[in-house]
Amino acid sequence: MSEIVRVIGNGADLADGEVPNELAEKDLIELFRWLVLLRTFDERAVALQRQGRIGTYALYWGEEATQAGALYACEDADWVFPSYRQNAIGILRGVPASTVLAWWRGYGGTHGFWNPRDHRVGPITVPIATHLPHAVGVAWAAKIRKDRASSLAWFGDGATSEGDFHEAMNFASVLKTSTVFFCVNNQWAISTPISKQMASETIAQKAVAYGMPGVRVDGFDPIACWKVTRDALERGRQGGGPTLIEAYCYRIMPHGTADDPRLYRDEAESEHWRALEPVGRMAEFLRRRSILDDAQEEQIRAEAKQLVAQAVTDMEAIAHPGQEILFDHVYASGRPWNFDEALDELHQVERPAEVKPLGPPTTPGAGEEGKTI
């Protein structure tokens, strides 16, 4: 089993490693700010779902390091492709947080989507692994144009069982595209444990079959996630081709707000992993280095709460789209005549009764910060 790259220790028996020279104190603070913003959004989104104000939501609580660390290693010209569990990554690139919330509310078109070209952030992908070939295609196009841009795609351990994963890995390796395959191995594909997902010892070793490097990293360590992603991107830009990164962590929370993990796993194990979650871990690391104090942390958290609170207000100010939104964005040239017939028929269907909001959050920690907003 390959060694796991780690920088942040635990302040006790696990010593801290060296911070790469390229990361100044201001970078470490900004990286922490990103972690807090992602965490605040996630907790608020869970609270909104429980209140019936958005639909079923996929939590990423505890996996913020795999998102913020990897994205911080990217250049502005690089393209990133999230799955549903990196749903808020766009807000770190200028996508309005209200737009992401509107997407979870079920709004489409101009209500809950953004132009990927404006932010170089692909759309949130729900089908498993289907965005990986897209990431390869973008990097291949950049290579043909002699463009420096690379691509980064996140996916879970369950995605490695999909054909799209293997096809994308093969194409990227053969074409030597500058693509980073970032697998968040949280050890659960809904209720399927990693032990029943694959027979190989690690995900990283799957890279050998495709002639690319495979790297394992502590998925709760944002600095280590930054380092391995930065190295992979630089290798790709220099013509070395793609890299597979396995971020080893744990899905501390349920798969989504409609999931109850108590039915298929021992939640005592989740509590063991909870101590390694990246927001608190990064804060303690910065304190050990005298980079962060209580006042700074309080300000960062307050700013994140205010941003997300404003996003909720903006999202709920959006007028509910009409039924025509189901048809308007299928063809660039407008709706064909049979779409108009279908829309007329849809207008005649009685609107279903409003769904009652669900009860209060039952997941430990869910909505904790959202209640204060």
Active site residues: 251, 255, 264
Q: Which residues contact 344 (CB under 8 A, 6 or more apart)?
A: none
**Residue 9 class from Cβ within 10 Å (0-12 exposed, 13-18 middle, 19+ buried)?**
middle
d(C-alpha 141, C-alpha 121), whole Å = 16
Cα distance between residue 139 and residue 79, in whole Å? 8
Q: d(Cα 367, Cα 271) in Å, to the nearest integer?
A: 18
Listed in sequence order, the residues at least 6 apart from 9 whose beta carbon sits closer than 8 Å to its beta carbon are: 15, 16, 17, 285
3-class state of residue 83 by DSSP: strand
The SS3 assignment for 242 reads: coil
Q: Are 301 and 58 in contact (CB under 8 A)?
A: no
Helix, strand, or coil here: 250? coil
What is the C-alpha to C-alpha distance for residues 265 and 190, in angstroms, rounded to an integer? 11
**Residues forming a β-bridge with 121:** 80
Which of 79, 118, 86 is CA-nearest to residue 100?
A: 86
| Tokens found for residue 213 | 């490097």
The span from the CA of 143 to the CA of 241, in Å, is 11
Distance of CA 65 to the CA centre of its chain: 10
Give Cα separations from 114 to 91, 95, 117, 333 (angstroms). Answer: 11, 7, 9, 19
Q: How many CB atoms lie within 10 A of CB 95?
A: 20
User: Residue 99 — φ and ψ, nearest 5°?
Assistant: -65, -40
Q: What is the dihedral of CA 230, 236, 241, 242, to 10 degrees?
A: 30
